[in-house]
Amino acid sequence: MKTLRHILFMATALLLTAACNADGDLTATSGAEALTLSGSGDAVLTAKNKASLALTLHWNDNGKMTTNDSRVLLPDYVTVNTLQFSRSEDFAETIDQQLDKGETSRQYTGEELNSIAGRVGLEGGKASPLHVRVRSVLADNMPVAYSNTYTMQVTPYTIDMTRGVVLNAKKEDTGLLLASKAADGVYSGFLGVTGWWNYYLQEGSGVTWGNDGVSGTPFAMSSEDSKWNFWYPGVEGCYYTVVDTRKARWSALHVSSLDVSGDITGQLAYNRKANRWTLAFDAAQAGTATIRVAGKGEAYDFTTGTDEAKANAQNVAFGQENDRLVFGSTPGDITVAIAQKGRNTLTLDLSDPYRWTCTAEAGGAEQPETAQRLYLSGIDDGVSGKWTFENFLTLFNEDELNYAGLCDVNSKWGYKLYPEKDVWNPCYGLASGDAAAGTLALNGNDNVPAPAAGLHLITASLKKLSYTTTPVTSVQVAGIGDDWSLIQMQTTDKAGVYRAVVKASAATPWGFKFVVNNNWDTFFGGSDGTTRYLGKNIPLDDSFTGATLTIEVDLCHATYSITK
């Protein structure tokens, strides 16, 4: 926009210069014309009538420019007009809305006007003056013209402007919050995020903020329709996040480490999903402990972008004031009650942006939840055309972290394994091996080689960091009616889905299973419609005895069904 304005101004200047008369006089224009602004009157707003029209503003048109030489024609609508709203007559702080070319009026619903009132700081349920004017400027180096100030009394309805709701990329509520305790449009709190995680922030007024979609500059904000989602740097972890709607800027301070000193010592471990830091310790006795928590961080903002090399190193620390935790750069004493002698866990819980807590509880530190699936992205990009999280292996041995499943392989560049859907970090890549078997490396750079296109049984162990692949040529069912012969299942038009019609001529006391490639060492058991690699036989109650059954199994998605 600035570039366009400079070009138009230079073009205007050239026209004016070319129009010099013989005596050397220059043709001149007076610049932007101040507008005359009027409105529809005072407004008492209610949530019940938030969709009703609450305000109409009118002003004249200043798009036509003239000079002192009638022979010189100037372009129309070079002037940029901006509506400004403020709670103070001197417009010390404003909410700005740029107007379209030729626009001479604008209307606001109760919800829209209430949002503006809240953003400028008017108190809910009380009539207060709202000041409005139009700022007009021809070019950056030209004088600014202001309209008359239109003042109206607005009584906003109360909305909770202390809550900033974190929305995902689809603008759905994530259940996460940032807090503006002063209800001043500045929201802050800790969020546990994956690398490049993206979001929007919605205020209580309904205004949704994202990244400025015009400039595309990281950490620049906008609430216009052109906005994109915000995005974090590529490093996952704990981020102290500040979203400042007044300055239209946000920042993310990555807390990379936290150490505990004092009566308890050690390094805290972070649980991203729970947004908590924990440390297991042994206490000599129950009672009270005084500790300090401090560590290191890397700050990202408008000046650094998401470039890790440009992030500013920063000390981070917690203290305690009036029984509440505070966050900053200098540590302060924190008092915690120790429940018992012996093993305890210190927990720094940052999940509630209104009240962070530091407590000690009896017992050891919580164990991170084991991923139930392992996603294979890149395994079918020859068909899908992109890396997706639609193919997965299912956990079948939690102690060994063993996963297995069938995948319809069609890969161009190989694949990697991911323990969390739609999250690119952490991942498991190739350490050594080929398409048939090998070892894995956490966050390894190289892709795992993919086998030839077709259906394959793939296993992976995150404890042993290994993998295997086996081509699947057939699937059998055994055990129906206590018949343990291998009954061939028929393929369907969907890869990995097999079907068989079997007569349960007798009871099935030991259940049944699905066997792969006629190999009794490679089978799927399960229960309740879900298959499990090397699992217990699938139970079948006596109500199926004597019936002809249609059995269908989808070994790519770990499901089965039985119908009479």
Mean per-residue pLDDT, 222-238: 94
In this predicted structure, what is the pLDDT of residue 58? 96
Residue corresponding to tokens 């078997």: 437
pLDDT score, position 5? 43
Neighbours of 284 (CB within 10 A): 9
Evaluate if residue 155 carries a pLDDT over 80: yes
Number of domains in the chain: 4
Q: Is the pLDDT of residue 309 over 90?
A: yes
Average pLDDT over residues 483-509: 96
In a domain, 26, yes or no: no
Comparing 17-26, 146-155, 331-340, 473-482, the range with the smallest average pLDDT is 17-26
Report the pLDDT value the prediction gives residue 25, as an integer from 0 to 100: 60
Mean pLDDT calculated for residue range 255-271: 96
Residue 379 has pLDDT above 70, yes or no: yes
d(CA 476, CA 555): 12
Cβ 6 vs Cβ 137: under 8 Å: no
Domain contains 184: yes
Question: How remote is the C-alpha of 408 from its chain's centroid?
Answer: 30
CA atoms of 302 and 222, how far apart (whole Å): 13
Q: CB of 356 within 8 A of CB of 327?
A: yes
Residue 1, domain member (yes or no): no
pLDDT by residue (tens digit) across 45-63? 988 888 899 999 999 988 8
Domain ranges, residue 546? 475-563
How far, rounded to the nearest angstrom, does the alpha carbon of residue 348 sit from its chain's CA centroid? Answer: 23
Whether 493 and 377 map to the same domain: the answer is no
Residues 481/507, Cβ–Cβ less than 8 Å: yes
pLDDT surpasses 70 at 380: yes
pLDDT above 90: percentage of residues in the chain: 79
Q: How far apart are CA 79 and CA 351, in angstroms?
A: 48
Asked if the model's pLDDT at residue 9 lies above 80, the reply is no
Q: Which of 367, 398, 427 is the last residue of a domain?
A: 367
Burial of residue 385 (number of CB atoms within 10 Å: 0-12, 13-18, 19+): exposed
Give pLDDT, residue 7: 40
Longest dimension (CA), the chain: 116
Backbone angles phi, psi at 3, to 5 degrees: -60, -45
pLDDT at 16 over 70: no
Mean pLDDT of 211-220: 94
Give 19's pLDDT tier (boundaries 50, 70, 90): very low
340 and 353 in a single domain? The answer is yes
Query: What would the mean pLDDT of 90-100 be, rounded to a whole number?
Result: 94
Give the residue from 208, 301, 220 showing the smallest Cα distance to 254.
Answer: 301
How many CB atoms sit inside 10 A of residue 83's CB?
21
The per-residue pLDDT for 365 is 64
Any idea what the Cα angle at residue 497 is, between residues 469 and 447, rounded to 5°?
Answer: 30
Tell me how far apart the alpha carbons of residues 195 and 49 are, in angstroms, rounded to a whole number.
42
pLDDT tier for residue 159 given thresholds of 50, 70 and 90 = confident
Q: Do 343 and 197 fall into the same domain? A: yes
Q: What is the mean pLDDT of residues 538-557?
A: 96
More confident position, 18 or 300: 300
Q: What is the mean pLDDT of residues 294-322?
A: 97
Decide: 517 and 472 in contact? Cβ < 8 Å: yes
Judgement on whether residues 334 and 398 belong to the same structural domain of the protein: no
* Cα 325 to Cα 318: distance, rounded to the nearest angstrom: 7
Q: CATH number for the domain including 64?
A: 2.60.40.10
Q: Is the pLDDT of residue 427 over 90?
A: yes
* Residue 14 maps to a domain: no
Tell whether 517 is covered by a domain. yes
Distance between CA atoms of residues 171 and 225, nearest Å = 13
Confidence class for position 69, pLDDT limits 50, 70, 90: low
Q: How confident is the model at residue 26 (pLDDT cuts 50, 70, 90)?
A: low
Both 99 and 206 in a single domain?
no
Q: Are residues 312 and 251 in the same domain?
A: yes
Cβ contacts of residue 280 below 8 Å, gap of 6+? 343, 344, 345, 346, 364, 365
Do 384 and 317 reside in the same domain of the chain?
A: no
Rounded to the nearest 5 degrees, what angle is found at the Cα of 540, between the Cα atoms of 535 and 545? Answer: 150
Return the pLDDT at 367: 66
Instruction: Identify whether the C-beta of residue 467 lies closer than 8 Å to the C-beta of residue 448.
Output: yes
Handedness of CA 72, 75, 77, 80 (dihedral sign): negative
Residue 125 within any structural domain of the chain: yes
Q: What percent of the chain has pLDDT over 70?
A: 93
Q: Which of 367, 390, 420 is the last residue of a domain?
A: 367
Residue 21's pLDDT band (cuts 50, 70, 90)? very low
Residue 559 and residue 430 in one domain: no
Residue 154 confidence (pLDDT): 97
In 3D space, the residue among 555, 384, 526, 370 whose CA is nearest the CA of residue 459 turns out to be: 555
| 17 band by pLDDT with thresholds 50, 70 and 90 | very low
In a domain, 5, yes or no: no
Are 410 and 527 within one domain? no
Other CB atoms within 10 Å distance of the CB of residue 108: 17
| Residue 18 pLDDT grade (very low, low, confident, very high; cuts 50, 70, 90) | very low
347, 406: one domain: no
pLDDT at 128: 96
Give the pLDDT confidence of 529-542 residue by residue, as tens digits: 999 999 999 999 99
Q: Is residue 3 part of a domain?
A: no
Distance linking the first and last C-alpha atoms of the chain: 69
CATH number at residue 434: 2.60.40
Are 353 and 425 found together in one domain?
no
On average, the pLDDT of the chain sits at 91
Is the pLDDT at 391 greater than 50? The verdict is yes
With 0.75 as the threshold, say if the pTM is over it: no
> How far is it, in rounded angstroms, from Cα 155 to Cα 438?
69
Residue 89: CB atoms within 10 A of its CB come to: 10
Q: Based on the domain organization, do 193 and 236 belong to the same domain?
A: yes
SS3 of residue 486 by DSSP: coil
pLDDT tens digits along 485-496: 999 999 999 999
Residue where a domain stops, chosen among 112, 140, 155: 155
CB 179 within 8 A of CB 187: yes
Q: Which one, of 94, 106, 86, 99, lies nearest residue 137 by Cα?
A: 99
Judge if the upstream peptide bond of residue 471 is cis by omega within 30 degrees of 0.
no
Q: Would you say 188 and 201 are in contact if contact means Cβ atoms under 8 Å apart?
A: no
**Tens-digit pLDDT profile for residues 101-124:** 889 999 999 989 998 998 898 988
Question: What DSSP string describes 238-290?
Answer: EEEEEEETTTTEEEEEEEEEEEEEESS-EE-EEETTTTEEEEEEEESSSEEEE
The two three-digit tokens of residue 3, written as one number: 């570039």
Apex CA 205: angle with CA 201 and CA 211, to 5°? 30
> How many CB atoms neighbour CB 98 within 10 A?
12
